[in-house]
């Protein structure tokens, strides 16, 4: 669906020749002489790279309709993750490369919102924090609670997180999915 650059809004998805982009920021500029234009900052939905691009005012661009589906992660099969649609119960296999940074936070049974463009998963919305079990780390140090010292811990999904010294293997912790940092014990 084509729309005018005058109608751009933050968060809108565009299908440009360079790829699939989301509008991060836009500004209409009307210089003293010459034609008006729209200065934009766009984020590539597949690579997350940010691109600055200028369009003529009222230039036509193709809007991309991104569909969000609530899905449940069932299991991993090789390099693919198998999800089930919570409405139709259809199972879908998604490549590891499409999940990018979301993969280390997913464990079997977790809910996720997959963003689809046509037949392709372009992004995954995760909750702000997830609970994971510590698979391995050095044993906890008794009495060292306030020094702020950290040690690496490997989670059940393979994710490595810096945790306080008192965290032991088998503990459940909350991890921030945006930064990958330890939040608290669960």
Cβ burial of 180 (10 Å; 0-12, 13-18, 19+) is middle
The pLDDT of residue 42 is 93
Architecture of domain 129-185: Beta Barrel (2.40)
Q: Does the pLDDT of residue 83 top 90, yes or no?
A: yes
Q: Does the pLDDT of residue 141 top 70, yes or no?
A: no
d(C-alpha 34, C-alpha 166), whole Å: 65
Q: Which residues contact 133 (CB under 8 A, 6 or more apart)?
A: 155, 156, 170, 171, 172
Band of pLDDT at residue 167, cut at 50, 70 and 90: confident
Structural domain boundaries in the chain = 2-62, 67-125, 129-185
Q: Does the pLDDT of residue 178 top 70, yes or no?
A: yes
Asked, colleague to colleague, whether 67-125 and 129-185 share their fold, the answer is yes
CB 124 within 8 A of CB 112: yes
Q: Share the mean pLDDT of the chain.
A: 87
Q: Does the pLDDT of residue 1 top 70, yes or no?
A: yes
Band of pLDDT at residue 2, cut at 50, 70 and 90: confident
The pLDDT of residue 37 is 92
Nearest to 185 by CA among 119, 140, 147: 140
Per cent of the chain over pLDDT 90 is: 31
* Fold assignment, 2-62: SH3 type barrels. (2.30.30)
Please state the rounded mean pLDDT for residues 42-58. Answer: 88
Which tokens hold the place of 62?
């193709």
CB 149 within 8 A of CB 112: no
Q: Does the pLDDT of residue 84 top 90, yes or no?
A: yes
Q: Exposure string (b/e) for 101-132, b if CB count within 10 Å is 16 or more?
A: ebbbbbeeebebebbbbeeebbbbebeebbeb
Give the range among 51-65, 111-125, 136-150, 160-174 with minimum mean pLDDT.
136-150
Please state the rounded mean pLDDT for residues 58-84. Answer: 90
Which top CATH class is 67-125? mainly beta
Band of pLDDT at residue 25, cut at 50, 70 and 90: very high
Cβ burial of 9 (10 Å; 0-12, 13-18, 19+) is exposed
């Amino acid at each position: 669906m084509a729309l005018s650059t005058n109608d751009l809004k933050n968060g809108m998805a565009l299908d440009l020749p360079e790829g699939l982009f989301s509008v991060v920021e836009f500004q209409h500029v009307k210089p003293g002489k010459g034609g008006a234009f729209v200065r934009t900052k766009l984020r590539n939905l597949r690579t997350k790279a940010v691109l600055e691009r200028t369009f003529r005012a009222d230039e036509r661009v193709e809007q991309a309709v991104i569909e969000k589906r609530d899905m449940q992660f069932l299991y991993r099969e090789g390099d693919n993750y198998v999800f089930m649609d919570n409405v139709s119960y259809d199972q879908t296999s998604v490549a590891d490369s499409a999940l990018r940074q979301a993969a280390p936070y997913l464990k079997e049974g977790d809910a996720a919102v997959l963003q689809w463009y046509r037949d392709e998963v372009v992004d995954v919305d995760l909750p702000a924090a997830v609970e994971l079990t510590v698979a391995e780390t050095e044993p906890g140090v008794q009495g060292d609670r306030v020094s702020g010292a950290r040690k690496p811990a490997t989670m059940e999904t393979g994710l490595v997180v810096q945790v306080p010294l008192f965290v032991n293997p088998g503990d459940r912790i909350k991890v921030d999915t945006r930064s990958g940092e330890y939040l608290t014990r669960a």
